[in-house]
Structure 1
Amino acid sequence: MRLTNFFPRLLLASVAVVAGCSANPVTGEKQLALMSESEEVQAGQQAHQEILAQNPPYRDAALQAYVSRVGQMMAAQSPRQNLRYTFTVLDDPGVNAFALPGGYVYITTGLMAYLNSEAELAGVLGHEIGHVSARHNVSQASWSAVGGILASVASDKLGNKELFNTIGELGLTHYSRNQELDADGLGAQFLARAGYDPVYMANVIATLQAYDQFTGGSSDPYRDLFSTHPNNDVRLQQLINQARQYQRGGRDPGHESYLRQTDGLRLPLGNGETVQVRLITTRPGDTFETVAQSSRLRNNAAMHLRVFNGMYPNGEPRPGQLIKTIQ
């Protein structure tokens, strides 16, 4: 085995790690960051255009403005006030939200359909702002760059690229779990500072947990080991305990105002059909079973409506309550 270029390239990776370590702007801890803030913003701008080219924004100016308003209110709580934050609703039925370097934050229509208050929306956006605030994206990109050097060395000289990649991915996955928990904590703090009860961060996780259980996502035995997010049960308990440190009264959680904003939200079914989120006011005797009879949802529609309305697994609407259905 020839190792002529092995040690210089390994040294290059080591130097990059040492030289690239800087203080996390939120925690003060050392983390790898191989790009300056201006480079971070430039990278985010370029990636933003690529995202929009692949997945256009949802065509509803009022909804985009609403999400942007809530997002800017949450961004005002971030310690990184020199960034220009941008919030975009993507026309995507997937249940997801994410952020790019430089302050670009996205939420899908699929996730918005499952939220039930402005405070929950603020919690999701606050979590993603937390990633930006702590430069998690920059750190991940930096580790990927170093990993590319090491993977090349392993592939060329050690002859076991698959094993090396698995070890590397596990290391990055563990690091990302820590980042997710940091972002949860920051999101809870941002909620409290904006006047919301930070317990709504826990509500968001409960919604994701219900969605996982309903769709069968938690049945994968390898989910906890390889997921980039912590296990939902553990994460939920951590959030509840963390949120209690910041609890205070103040801003209305905005249940009805949020539901009004999402009334008419269009969601593709994947077979060429499109459904809409519609609001109804329940009457005495209404249950999710009776409401489901007029819904376009298929396969366990009543239980699906419970997930949509934050009442999974056995909740029922009260008479006169505003709830979401699918038409």
Structure 2
Amino acid sequence: MTHQLFEPAVLKNSQLKNRIVMAPMTRCRTDQPGNIPNLLMADYYAQRASAGLIITEATQISDDSQGYSFTPGVYTSEQIRGWQQVTTAVHNAGGVIFNQLWHVGRVSHPYFQKGRLPMAPSAIKPVDTHVWIAKDGQAGEMVECVKPRGMNDNDIQQVINDFAIAAEKAVEAGFDGIEIHGGNGYLIDQFLRTNSNHRSDNYGGNRENRLRFLMEVVDAVAARIGTERIGVRLAPYVTFKDMNCPDIVPTILQGATQLNQCGIAYIHLSEADWDDAPVIPTGFREQLRESFDGTIIVAGRYTRESAEQVLDKGYADLVAFGRDFIANPDLPYRLKNKLPLADFDQASLFGGDHKGYSDYTVYQA
């Protein structure tokens, strides 16, 4: 029997060898100073190029969009050259790779903001939310987020422009496309939710206004690189980082309708993946499919069996795997042949060298 998970797929201008996606995962391995991608990262991504699509770790669009140490950027010439090593290695291995772009908003600290407060839709401190700061080569520590400053009109327009420029630079760096990070409690998600967005202007209040920032980012990026190279990640059922909003699900569905009209390449649904996470309702999956007729990617602790089920039901076109790709660079091969999966080393997830990063091996009987 041929399983849909292992069949080729088309993503606008990209031909994918299978329907398995490597999900974006922060690993904090850049060169310093400058948050520059390097050859170690090129090896890591190229090793996993058997995925139909790779989506990189979240990448800063500007020097004021960072919230964690050692995460990469795509706004300086040194960073672009670093990413060119990565994209060349992945393409030489037969892979397709998109760059996930983010601005963390209030999930940051003055340490990353040249002493200034982080920016956010509204000056509301996220409860029980921390960022990882490693100073002067130290091991690093989790530091509580501070109360941010509310963005003014100039801030909003500047960030929209930063997304557009970063997308253009990502294409210059050789990426096949970009993913706009609109989920998981970061800046765009903060605009979408009523508990983090208390604005009374055109960017706050009703759903249309709370979606405005996302849609203006998409329009600005499309003007630079075209809609066919754009994906958007959304996370309606992810509520960590103090993001429990009672109106987020209908807001996301309205946004999906608007994104469908734009003609973007895909929506990437980030599902809660902790042990007692809420189950995504079937009704939501059906409504999302009705609202958006482009490619839908789902991510959230999927197995081979659950991935095949969500594809068979038509709720998704591609399935992203995160943690399983860390210790299993040949994950598509292992899934297809029902081989055991290796476990990853928790201690080496963030920061460090090749250990627990690019030293995992392919399956050996």
Kindly indicate which of the two structures has a greater share of residues assigned to helix: 1
TM-score, normalised by the number of residues in structure 1: 0.29
Larger Rg: 1
If the length of structure 2 is used for normalisation, what is the TM-score?
A: 0.27
